[in-house]
Every structure is written in C-alpha cells, then in structure tokens.
Structure 1
Amino acid sequence: MLEMRDVCFHYGNGTPILEHMNVEIGAGEFIGLGGRNGCGKTTVTRLLMGLEKPVSGEIRYDGRIINEDDASRRSAFIGYVFQRPERQMFRPTVRDEVAYGPQQFGRQADEIEASVQAALEQTGLSDLADAYPPNLNRGEKQRVAIASAIAMHTQYLILDEPTSGQDSADKEELMQLLTKLNRQGLTVLIISHDMDIFAEYCHRVLVIGQHTKAFDGTPEELFTKRDDLYDLGLSRPDSVTLSLSVPGLPYCKSMKDFTAAMLQKLGGQK
C-alpha cells in the first residue's frame, strides 16, 4: 500500500498546491489521475516518487513513513516514466540503460543479466538492446523507461501523459503493454488528459480540484454521475456520450464497445 496522509505542499512563495490530500494506492490497481492544468497532478506523483517532500502530512509505503527517503531509494519499488522519457536516459545502449538501476542497487551480475533480458522481452525491446536510446522514437523510449522499471522489480509504475503526441497505433500498443503488466501484478498510475484512456483502461480515477482530491471512484461513476466535469477540466468520452443518448444501451467504455452494443441492439430489433 502506497499512501498520502493529510499531505500539504507549496513551493517557496507559499501558494498552496495541495491541501489535506489523502490517497491510498493498493497493489494491482490501474489508476488514472486527472484534473485541470496546474491542479497538482504532477506534484502528487513527484511527492510519491520523492522528488518533492510534503510541507506537512505523511507519505507511507506499507505503513512505513517514507517522507525522508529520496527518489533513488524509492526507485526500488516505484518506477517513473517522464512525459519526455529521453530526459531520464544517459547510457549508450538500451541494454545498459535498463541495467543501470539494478547495478546501482548492487545486484549480482547474473541476476542483473536475467532481469534485463526479461524486461526487454516483456516490453518488446530485445531487437533494440544495442540501439542508442536517443535515436529511438518516442514510443520506444517509453518502453525503455518501462523496461528499466521492470528490471528493478518495481511494484508501482507512474507515467506522465504517456499517450500525448502519439498516433492511435502507438497509443494502442502502449496501453496493451501496460494492461498486460497490470494483469501480472504491476500497479499503474497514469497522469492524462485523455478521457478515452480513463474510460477504457483504468479501474479507478482520481481527480484533483481545488488543491485536493475532488473525485475518487470508477470511470463509470465519474462519467455518468458527475455534473461538474467541465469545472474539473474533464470531458465525457464520445463512447459514453453516445451510449447514454441511446435508450436501453449499457455504459460503453470505448467506441468498440459502443459499436458492438449498437449492432446487438439493432439485431435484436429485427
């Protein structure tokens, strides 16, 4: 369990970014984190990672207060994929990049080799093991960052706007990879403005508003029961809007689901 207990945070000028933030993130969850630009989403993840420290309140991991643990120590159980993943890469090959974390934790050479090989296979990067990371495309760089986390046997993976600027094929490939890893037990937390991602893939959505948690529940609850989506900087996915407009149609989390539901409905009317 990763927790924020009554966490408050502000930068040097004292303007509050987060106030009395309480969040519990359990093992195996797939969570979307949303809200308006500047609402504090990235700050939440930086606090969890140890890149920032709370002004007050506690960050806990399995009941232990980890406020003073820096990011390098937390990297043993939390991986982070930046919006621009190339900023976290500095080694000459993909293999070396993925091996860096386990090496820093002093693991044995044979253990490192096995962890790196498994991580490359899981992320589809085996054929790029000797490639120079800056020469990769954005989707490949993201997979390198994910592989680096997997090689550390990470329990939590945080991604900042992972699908922005990607075409539909790259987006689908990334989300299928994250879904697979989540089914294998990895906890995934995604910061995104892409409501389709929340609806189709996330089991739970957290929304930040007015410097604290404004919503915590399922995507279906968010998109069908809240009437303040605009105020929170969110929108309803087209698949949900369309399914709500057709009497008798179930909640549809994707356009694929909507199409299938419509075909079934029309077929039943013959």
Structure 2
Amino acid sequence: MLANLRTRAAALRLIHGMRCVRPHRAVASCRFSTRPPSADKPPVDWDRTLNDALEQAKRELAHSSSSQKPPTPGPPDPPQKPEDYLVTLGRVTEALPGQLEGFLTHGLDAWVYAEHVRFSEPRHSGMQVTGRAQYLGAARVLRIALNAYFAHGEVSVVGVRQQVAGAADAGRKEDDGGGGGGGGRRDGAYDVFVRWVFEGVPRHAELLGNATVSRFEGEFRYALDRTSGLVAEHEVTAIHPAPPTAVLASSGLARWAGWLAPRGMPPVAGST
C-alpha cells in the first residue's frame, strides 16, 4: 500500500512538472521540466489569453475609429474678396498657356479648373464632359493618344486674349439672332481665348522614312468662374485641318475624348 502511494505521488509530480511551450506556428510542442511549478505563476490558459487579446484589439480599433471621426463642419467660408478673385483670375490666365505647352509632357494641373468644370466640342462631335475628375480623365486619354500617334509632338501658344464673357457674341446676335456656344454666362465673368499650333510627325510615316511634319491650328475658349476665378468651361472653338482620326478612332480614345472629330473643322485664320 505504501509503495503504491509513493508511485502515485511521483506520477503526479511528473505531470505537474510538464510544461507546454507553444511556438509562433500552429503546431505545439511539449517538454518536461525538472523545476517544480511556482505557486505565484499559475499555468497559462492559452484559449483565454487569445480571446482577451482579440477583445483588446477590438476595443483599441473602436477607440481609434471614434477618435478619428471627422470634425463637425464649421460655418461656411466667407465670400471671396474682390482682390482675391482678381489675383486668382490673373494666375489662371497666366497659367493656361503653360498648361497647353506642357500638356504632352506632364498633362494638366488640377488647381486651374473648378470642381464643376464643363468641356464641350459643340461644332463637330458634340462631346460634353462635366466635372473636374472626368475632365482630367478625358485630357489624360487625349495625351496618351497624341503621344501614341505622333512623334516629336509639340504644342505652341501663339495668342492669348481676355474679354468680358459674351462680348464677342454681341455682333453675331444682331446679325443672325443666334447666340454663341457659351450661353448661360453671367455678367462680370471673363473669357480667355488661347490660340495654339500643334506640330508632330505621324509615327507610321516616320517608320516609312517620311518625316513630314503635320501641323494643326486651333483655338480654345476658357470661361472663368465669376466667384472663384477658376476655369468653369472649356470649349473647342476651332481646329484646322481635320485631325487624322483613322488610326486613333480604332482604339476609341479620340472619339471618347471628343477632341478629334471625323469631319472637317473651320480654320482659325487665313482662308475664308
């Protein structure tokens, strides 16, 4: 009887002396320790520890989310001062030529254009794009298409003029009773007209040894917002001659952007 009790006691000591060590991997390994378990360090309950950690992570995530809530909107911004409007208007007018001349290299700068900017090509394709994101996306498509079709492409600005919106249409309204393409503009707004020349060598012609430069002339009208001074409308008023759309239209880029039309376009100047 005494021998049996001693054997059972030794077995219990052996069981209590065994520790399980769980590495970072899913498989657990156990090893024996000759050190007796400490009374002030009870065995670890791994399932409970994991649950506690998950709950703590949830609490921290909830606290982080609540602390990062957007602040309550404050009062609306005060109206822009007249001098601030004129400064912005001057900056935009000065920036537009650089936007065009650097278009094939780095595209457009978003700050020049109002959030509600509207693009239109009313005389040929009838293309319209509304919204700054859509406008910049269409411009990006056009830039990719031009760089794909033309080698050594270059845009040069040959003239810039600014006038009160609608002033150029006054004479035509008296003659034919019609209006220009920029209806709905309010008094006090300004238009900026930019005349440009594009030159480039068609890549397929360059491959055949014909490096003849193609030349196109055009004019854009930019209507500046009377409140912010940013570009609120961009209208294609003329492109001459008709751009070669046979290759670009096959990809859908040119027709989607609405800048290159399949029909002839009126000349900017010269012939009548």
TM category, shorter: under 0.3
Q: Output the TM-score relative to the length of structure 1.
A: 0.19
Bigger strand share = 2
Q: Output the TM-score relative to the length of structure 2.
A: 0.18
Q: Which has the larger radius of gyration?
A: 2
